[in-house]
Structure 1
């Protein structure tokens, strides 16, 4: 087991550079198998999810190599196989192989995806979309079997009952090679979807409207990559380091940021009293003297990101008044609360609402990171709290945060990863 060992209470300063977006990367890697030529991605985060996806590619005879932040993938010798191993079940984003395999081979057999336990994330919208395109969908032995008709998938109008990033991405992947035009209504608008569409369009796809609630896709016969694709900066990683800078910073510059991707989040921090200078691609966070807690309600982009509700809770321990967080997307994303309580945090859940009050008695403790963003909230609190904090299952943090120990130590934090048993 990987354990993150933090000696907290130290002021941090300097600069940190944000890596490529995890939520883009985990869609782009499955999308790469649609190319008839080699694919190169730049600004790839060095995270465990990338390693896991590369391992899945290797099972399909798709070779890949990583040099610093450049990932090269060669899908030209790909073999069609069922993806039913434990690798699939441990990684939520593996469900993007459903749309990619269906598009490439006309068939996909994929185990039900796993990933973080943050509440129900049903795939019924995915199934609805696949069936609308003409595919047959069956469930057998904890796997989903999707098969296109012999004549291929046919474009149609797909209207989602609710906004789903995963379903939007899967329908894009499934329809780029379909016959005719597909229209996705009530589509998710996240920047990572725009990033995926940009990559596919540069390979010859015809996708319009990415970033809006209506996406139109005209099917093409084949896709081929000719240029390296640079992945957009990770807005969740950026938000996490901005929170760290506000909590324990003595002047921190966060570089490689697209501020427009964080508008509502940055507005909430300013409301709390965080003093920042927002540049074109960087944000400087001054030392913060006094914070006032606010009310946060998560919602799909461009709203407040659910992935930042747990990190911002750690900042609210330093604020005056009561902080309120309502996660409308994953209301059961609360497993961090009892772990934070072990550190002296005054946080509780009541009727689906998270309440936070100033916590002057924070102290290092042994805690467990059940998922990525829960781990981030524990990490931030550990940096604030005096004493030693050991975060067990820290592999979950490493799944989502690029070179996190290297970046934190670069700011002056006393943090390391050690091996151990729970």
Structure 2
């Protein structure tokens, strides 16, 4: 009697009309220990009509991760079905280095969409050895392929093609953002990119090019950039300015000796930057204002406290940088531009850091007591704990406020504090 092998039995079910059976067949092939059969089967099902089957097939090919597995996935980058095409690209990316030689031929495929897709995938792989093949596509008849080649050369840090990319800057206006981004990658890789190129890009009439230049400079560690960034800060498009100022502040943190070069005229731009939706740039704005005029801009800065922990840390550092931080803090609460709870946390920080003169402690305590009801329970307990730790008479009003609090947890903590501090029962 003839008996099918496990591989043959599973292979026969790959065309079963039920998707769950096709998936089970793939799993059985995996268990059968026949990688070649599994690769063939997964390749055949990578364009299956059922998405779950396709995903399972792709997962098996990626897990096998060989050149043979990549060879099964590669033809699907020409699929008219975008879902199948993207799945194939994802599988090849996950396979990694073994997929590189398989994709090489597709760089020169007659179909422009296949060429572009192959180059896009190679940009995500360790494909530096194909950079010359990719660079040949800088003169491709299709603009999208040319853009893909520029992006890929940047991603692969193929610095030997720097001159070829620079030569495209003038004749290819639409490619300028990609060229600038690639130059930024080259500079970060240690290539000697002329900083004048980035200055030229920051002066480009296209704000997208300016933004690309600002982003390219954002991570460069070169103090000679400071003067360039200051020069361009007034003239770049508002879309690019926060990125540029963020890069400037980062460099000034690394090279504080250059802080004196910061012109007061940037104050307005940093103030505008406080309204940015990206908190990264708001934090940089606070740092920049602290370098320029900590005391004069403190009221503007305080209005943003309580939004984010990292931002609050920088606001606190600004408070520490001014000679009399408590009055602006209280004024911000009185003007209702700063909620009581973040104000209380900042005040507690000043007390803990001993940033207040002893004669200022009663005013700090008054700020906390006057708004005690509006504080979060955690802030109330932190205030009581600080009072207990410091044992300063000027702060004892916090204990009384805690004893009156409607929250039993706060009351109990205040009662224990009163006892530990030896306060009179009238408290």
Report the TM-score, using the length of structure 1 for normalisation. 0.25
Larger RCO of the pair (alpha carbons < 8 Å, separation 6+): 1
TM-score, normalised by the number of residues in structure 2: 0.25
Question: Hey, which of these two has a bigger chunk of helix by percent?
Answer: 2
